[in-house]
Amino acid sequence: MKFLDNLPHFLFFTGKGGVGKTSIACATAVQLAESGKKILLVSTDPASNVGQVFSTSIGNRITPIIQVPNLFALEIDPQQAAQAYRDRIVEPVRDSLPEAAIKSIEEQLSGACTTEIAAFDEFTALLVDSALTKDYAHIIFDTAPTGHTIRLLQLPGAWSGFLEAGKGDASCLGPLAGLEKQRAQYREAVEALSDPLRTRLVLVARAQRATLREVARTHEELAAIGLTRQYLVINGVLPVDEANNDELAAAIVSREQAMLSSIPENIRTLPMDQIALKPFNLVGLDALRKLLKNGLPLENQPVSIPDRVLQAPNLSTLIDDIAIDGHGLVMLMGKGGGGKTTMAAAVAVELARRGLPVHLTTSDPAAHLLETLDGTLPGLTLSRIDPHEETERYRQHVLASKGAKLDAEGRALLEEDLRSPCTEEIAVFQAFSRVIREAGKKFVVMDTAPTGHTLLLLDATGAYHRDVVRQMGDTPVHFTTPMMQLQDPRQTKVLLVTLAETTPVLEAANLQADLQRAGIKPWAWIVNNSVAASQPTSALLRQRALNELKEIEAVATLHARRYAVVPLLKEEPVGIERLQELAGFCAEKV
């Protein structure tokens, strides 16, 4: 593999959710550790599943992977990092300030801003020379899906610049004093990220239009902030000889080869590797050792698909029940790569086809709704919560309201404060709240960001709710917060989208538990791109179908109150017509 040649100290894997970043990062870490090098594997994904891959509890501490000598792992947990960050700021002054002042500081530090900065603080500590990192030959980062990763990698420069100006009161953040102490660390992190002799970025994609376009954009954005040493890995490519005597496999091979021959110009010259699609689930040490090896032999065994899978409810069944209410918020959630965007578009298109007003929107920083729809439909409107646009709108609003009452010096201080990267979190939350309010009159279908980013947004929603409740006290006034609407099943239906694979189903179950702790009960599950439901004849695809059966059974009997199974199709569901076909798909149409 080219991306493993002459490795620098830091190795980052990034790309659209579901392309296999975690599996490739873990397989790389295993291979290097078993060659005798001491390796640290770090996940910066708020919804990390590195521990699941190794069947080991890791969490927010450096943990040895017992099965692999020389391999250590760390999952940067935003919530634990935020608590440690709060303790570091509050404890030194707890005995010297009044209790009311301490509570005020703790409240300032309770929002999503602090959560993000605390996790970022831990991330930058790994990029500087210290006792923490000096013994590792390589540090491998398994990052969050692209949009979140770009923001994370831009933050060292953003916070460094903000602190260099040093004029803002950082009222949205609170922990400015804590950030000031980290100024040198952030500067050193910027230097490490932009040094091609110390840092290499591996862009991971599938042979699919959306993921290739995304890595092309990512290439440009990260090169612009100095991450120029980039490699490209195309993962999960179906071997050409699987196309023999199988129409589904032939269609997939044809589609993938066409994509590989039309890779975007700006990334075509990057050093590139291809990794073949494997017949097994990528969980466990044996699977990881095989991932980076192509040409493995297959077991051509008969596979019987039970009627429970072939006759499972389809997406149209769920939409029938959603349409009854005539309006409401429908949120598609899940780990990246499960197909949330496609499912959201299919639900919105079918509701609009039935004559219902629909607003289809996304909170995903790497949104692809426009490309998925590839057309228009009466009654269907489309929008995107764009972090940059929303931040600028918020800044202008604050300057026009709060800033109008200030003198020139005060306004200059306010403008500096609003340049804080933290301002974006507030702006995005406000846009999210506006969209939620629309659902009282029409259907709002939301394609959310991948799990970790969505949970941070919900954390901000919860913090706002607690703040409103505290301020209202015992005042007998009716009020409704966005969190209250999300918790009301009459107003909000959450659909969890997953694949029929071990890790995605486990991740969806964990997401469901997180939502339930926040008082939000998922309404249904969607098992997307099911190979088993497509009844293939290819030996590799039939082996993957066999592996799916246990996971579909778990969804149907253990996890979901209601569910649907969507088969893997010969043609990508892009465009209004194909999305309509997908929404009404029945097993006998495969």
- 8-state DSSP, 450: P
Main-chain dihedrals φ then ψ at residue 188, nearest 5 degrees: -65, -35
Helix, coil or strand: residue 68: coil
Per the annotation, the verdict on 149 as an active-site residue is no
Question: In terms of Cα–Cα distance, which of 576, 1, 540 is closest to 279?
Answer: 540
How far is it, in rounded angstroms, from Cα 15 to Cα 25? 12
Catalytic residue among 17, 44, 45, 337: 45
Q: How far is CA 18 from CA 335, 340, 364, 370, 453, in A?
A: 7, 11, 14, 20, 15
Q: If you write DSSP's letter for every residue of 75-125 in order, what string do you get?
A: E--HHHHHHHHHHHHHGGGTTTS-HHHHHHHHHHTSSHHHHHHHHHHHHHH
d(CA 111, CA 294): 46
Active site residue 503: yes
Q: Per the residue annotation, which of 20, 168, 236, 403 is the catalytic one?
A: 20
Radius of gyration of the chain (CA): 24
Given 503, 530, 534, 538, which residue is catalytic? 503
Q: Which two tokens stand for residue 492?
A: 């909000």
Active site residue 304: no
Q: Which of 15, 17, 18, 157 is catalytic?
A: 18
Is the CB of residue 451 less than 8 Å from the CB of residue 508? no
Residue of 14, 23, 48, 420 marked active site: 23
| DSSP string computed for 121-154 | HHHHHTTS-STTTTT-SEEEEEPPPHHHHHHHHH
Q: Which of 22, 454, 461, 481 is catalytic?
A: 22
Cβ(8)–Cβ(229) under 8 Å?
A: yes
Q: CA-CA distance, 346 to 316, in Å (whole number)?
A: 10
Report the alpha-carbon distance of residue 248 to residue 273 in Å, rounded: 25
Check: CB of residue 196 under 8 Å from CB of residue 11: no
Instruction: Report yes or no: 49 and 179 within 8 Å, Cβ to Cβ.
Output: no
User: Which is the catalytic residue, given 15, 17, 21, 423?
Assistant: 21
User: CB of 46 within 8 A of CB of 514?
Assistant: no
**What string of DSSP letters covers 230-298?**
EEEEEEEEPPGGGGTT-HHHHHHHHHHHHHHTT--HHHHTS-EEEEEPPSS-S-SHHHHHHHT------
Closest to 559 measured CA to CA, from 477, 500, 519: 500
Return d(Cα 244, Cα 250) in angstroms, integer.
Answer: 7
Is residue 22 annotated as part of the catalytic site, yes or no?
Answer: yes
How many whole angstroms separate alpha carbon 115 and alpha carbon 80?
Answer: 9
Q: How far apart are CA 580 and CA 316, in angstroms?
A: 10
Q: Name the β-bridge partners of 276.
A: 237
Identity of the amino acid at 398: V
Whether residue 18 lies in the annotated active site: yes
CB atoms within 10 A of CB 350: 23
Going by C-alpha positions, the residue among 481, 387, 393, 486 that lies closest to residue 446 is: 486
Q: Is 362 helix (H, G, I), strand (E, B) or coil?
A: strand
**Residue 577 tokens, joined:** 């017509």
Phi–psi pair at 536, nearest 5 degrees? -75, 165
Residues carrying an active site annotation: 18, 20-23, 45, 503
